[in-house]
Structure 1
Amino acid sequence: MSDPIEDPRHAYRDDGFPAQEQQQPGLIRDTDPRPDHGEDSYRGSGKLAGRRALITGGDSGIGRAVAIAFAREGADVAIVHLPEEQDDADSTRSLIEKAGQRALTLAGDIRDESFAARIVEQTVAEFGGLDLVVLNAAYQKDREGLESLQTEELDRVFGTNLYGMMFTARAAIPHLAAGASIIVTSSIQAFNPSPGLIDYAMTKAAQVAFVKALAEDLGPRGIRVNAVAPGPIWTPLIPATGWDAERLATFGQDTPLGRAGQPAELAGAYVYLASDAASFVSGAVLPVTGGKGL
């Protein structure tokens, strides 16, 4: 007997979230309710057997969901995280290894050009090569207005979301062969920016241009480049964004499906783009937004 069809409006929590606040980068243990990364639900079927993946920001949120899914689809997975996220990274590593795959955790900040290159070299050395690169690490913070945006904060957003992404991609490309895949985590903010996330939205729009240009550059070598554009997704980054109780209580309520998404609901999009099922997909931006248009 097949499983009953699920109403997507009620597949997960369909009301708001309680007031809470975290310091960046946000941790799973301090996030209420705990996000679903697919720990108990994702089932693999060998779509990525034998592949070797590197995921930045892979300790929690969307990156953790992708790491779990990739491992259960048969890939070895290296995850990059900040040092203060070590507990979350260790937990994710355990889930990768429980799936029977090799795991590697790499602590540091991808804004550091040498670190961003070193994580590629360490992954290649550990796994014997590299096939999948998920450029997912990001930083966002609520802004009261452009006039109050400090240069230090602007540098952190651009450094993480753009420079770190490009440093990692630049180091990875020489190791990628035909059939490899690069996937960037962009955002609905690239297309429908919120004033309070002006700097973050700018970087997400730039990522779309990066994906389209790099897809054209690497296509003749058989390397595909795509992006996923999430809508409102409940991750530890959300309580660390600096939103007030009212904003959290309504988070995701403006989607046509009437709720925020969970990281586990993103995993299939990344698996698809990484797999041979997407062999003719490159330069694309795949929205996972609960129905909100790009």
Structure 2
Amino acid sequence: MTDNKICDGRVVIVTGAGQGIGRAHALAFAAAGAKVVVNDLGAELDGTPKPDSGAAKVVEEIRAAGGEAVVNGDDVSDWEGARRLVATAIETFGGLDVLVNNAGIVRDRMLVNLGEDEWDAVIKVHLKGHFAPMRHAAEYWRNESKAGRQPDARVINTSSGAGLLGSVGQGNYSAAKAGIAGLTITAAAEFARYGITVNAIAPAARTRMTETVFAETMAAPEDGGFDAMAPENVSPVVVWLGSADSAAVTGRMFEVEAGKVTIVDGHRHGASVDRGARWNPADLGPAVRDLLAKSVTPEPVYGA
């Protein structure tokens, strides 16, 4: 029989958990027995402050169902805010086992029209907003390991198909999500000695960040059937990655859509040619064309 309490007793932070995919993660972890820190800055889609956050409502839902949760309103892209977030878990629940980096914003625009502030905001929230909480959590886990209390810790990052394949009109978002993919495999290699696994997901679901881009394809079914784009479809993979059962899995990327889970192979060394000496530029045309003929055609960029 499947254990529905697969994360029983584990302490989990979920960033950007006031609504959408983050909310679904928080509720799913709580249902699986975890104690959850529900983080949300309470911002509009473009990152500007919002009068009230949905995080408190998510905490109320978890507590009403008999679970344990606490709200945190820190900005994950702020160094001290990220430190306070990790401290919230440790001080409230006595430790930390899982960090789910989910918070994000979009400011979509063609690159030729993209402003510096729009670039900086998206890179900061997504990329620094992943690094800063992970850095403080990893420091805590490293100290635990050095003290002889080897962690069984997990980091689950959130990339995107845009970061893996590119997306027209989302150059800033694509760059940030690609950075998260690279950050994930580097962290997995560096943190293994401390008992920490690091994986990432590239989810496809109906959220604030996708509803304007994929409004028609991501609409909920009117007949009450299986909602393929429901955010809740993504969370089971994240909960499993946060469990003890996933200890042997690290440095991997999972695409998650509806009931489909796909392993992303990532960049791999392909065909090569070695001249054994420095190339003459004029000789490279035939050589490169031959290499491309032997290679797999790249997946198309979204929106191209």
Within 5 Å, which residues of 2 pair with 1:209-220? 209-220=182-193
- Bigger Rg, structure 1 or 2: 2
Tell whether the 8 Å contact from 1:44 to 1:69 is kept in structure 2 after alignment: no
Identity of aligned residues (%): 31
Amino acid in the other structure paired with 2:230: Q
Amino acid in the other structure paired with 2:155: I
Aligned length in residues: 241
Superimposed CA distance per residue, residues 221-246 of structure 1 (whole angstroms, 9 cap, x where no aligned partner): 22111011112x1113334xx55xxx
* TM-score normalised by structure 1 residue count: 0.76
Matches of 1:237 and 1:208, distance apart in 2: 19
Superimposed CA distance per residue, residues 79-104 of structure 1 (whole angstroms, 9 cap, x where no aligned partner): 11123274421221112212322211
Aligned residue among 67, 85, 91 for 2:26: 67
After TM superposition, give the deviation of residue 251 of structure 1 in Å: 4.4
Superimposed CA distance per residue, residues 119-150 of structure 1 (whole angstroms, 9 cap, x where no aligned partner): 1112211111100000110111321x212111
Aligned residue among 196, 206, 227 for 2:200: 227
Tell whether the 8 Å contact from 1:183 to 1:228 is kept in structure 2 after alignment: yes
Matches of 2:163 and 2:229, distance apart in 1: 18
Matches of 1:130 and 1:276, distance apart in 2: 13
Tell whether the 8 Å contact from 1:86 to 1:107 is kept in structure 2 after alignment: no
Residue in structure 2 matched with residue 22 of structure 1 by the alignment: none
Residue in structure 2 matched with residue 272 of structure 1 by the alignment: 240
Aligned residue among 131, 139, 164 for 2:97: 131
Tell whether the 8 Å contact from 1:44 to 1:72 is kept in structure 2 after alignment: no
Residue in structure 2 matched with residue 153 of structure 1 by the alignment: 118
Tell whether the 8 Å contact from 1:186 to 1:205 is kept in structure 2 after alignment: yes
Identify unmatched segments of 5+ residues in structure 2: 43-49, 142-149, 221-226, 265-304
259-268 or 61-70: bigger deviation: 259-268
After TM superposition, give the deviation of residue 44 of structure 1 in Å: 7.4
Q: What RMSD in Å do the two structures reach over aligned CA positions?
A: 2.4
Superimposed CA distance per residue, residues 177-205 of structure 1 (whole angstroms, 9 cap, x where no aligned partner): 42110000111112221111111011111
Aligned residue among 238, 259, 263 for 2:231: 263
Residue in structure 2 matched with residue 54 of structure 1 by the alignment: 13
Amino acid in the other structure paired with 1:178: P
Residue in structure 2 matched with residue 288 of structure 1 by the alignment: 256
Counterparts in 2 of 1:53 and 1:170: CA distance versus 1, 3 Å: same
Counterparts in 2 of 1:292 and 1:45: CA distance versus 1, 3 Å: closer
Aligned residue among 84, 104, 112 for 1:118: 84
Identify unmatched segments of 5+ residues in structure 1: 1-42, 254-258
Counterparts in 2 of 1:265 and 1:134: CA distance versus 1, 3 Å: same
* TM-score normalised by structure 2 residue count: 0.73
Aligned residue among 78, 82, 90 for 2:56: 90
Residue in structure 2 matched with residue 248 of structure 1 by the alignment: 215
Tell whether the 8 Å contact from 1:58 to 1:67 is kept in structure 2 after alignment: yes
